[in-house]
Amino acid sequence: MKSSKQIISYILDRPYFAPLNKQICYAKFIHMLPERFQKAIAFVYLKNETFFIALSHPGYKMEFNYNKELFKGLLDTLTKGATECSWIKADKIVIFNSKIKTVEKKESGNTVPYYSELSTGNFEMKEADENIAKIFSEIKKNIKINLHTSRQ
């Protein structure tokens, strides 16, 4: 019986799964970065010995441009440390803003806001009409009910 690692390595060695190996190396590179950089990267790829880093927000671009040498050093470390990623040979690094946003959706169960009653229901009624006085008394009664239920 083969172990799961053997099965996965067999699958990854197939030529039609070569893009998976690339994605694994890209993920390793991203995980080598500090957390603030990890959050800023939308995706990375290598093309014609140029390593492209796509940013999820334009505000990160200046900071990434200042740290290009750090990224080159990390790529060299990755190619030396991980033999499966030795194919990464980048002469230069290009940083650009991506139009594709990778946003993780957080599902929350209940999004209905609940507010407590702010009024005390103590206000004067200068009634000019009997119908308006009834409406105001109903409002006072509803405020007192809301006060009672919001404290529980």
The DSSP secondary structure of 50-76, one letter per residue, reads EEEEEESSGGGHHHHHHTHHHHHHHHH
pLDDT at 119 over 70: yes
* 20-28 long-range Cβ contacts below 8 angstroms, 24+ apart: 21/84, 22/46, 24/84, 24/85, 25/78, 25/82, 25/84, 25/85, 25/87, 25/88, 28/78, 28/82, 28/85
**Sheet hosting strand 41-47, strand order edge to edge:** 41-47, 50-55, 92-97
pLDDT score of 53: 93
On the question of pLDDT at 102 being above 60, the answer is no
69: left (phi over 0), alpha (psi -120 to 50) or beta: alpha
Output the average pLDDT for the chain: 83
CATH node for 4-97: 3.30.70
101 band by pLDDT with thresholds 50, 70 and 90: low
pLDDT greater at residue 52 or residue 128: 52
**pLDDT-above-70 percentage for the chain:** 89
> How many residues make up the chain in this entry?
152
With cut-offs at 50, 70 and 90, classify the pLDDT of residue 52.
Answer: very high
50 versus 128: which is more confidently predicted? 50
The model's pTM is: 0.58
CATH 3.30.70 residue ranges for the chain: 4-97
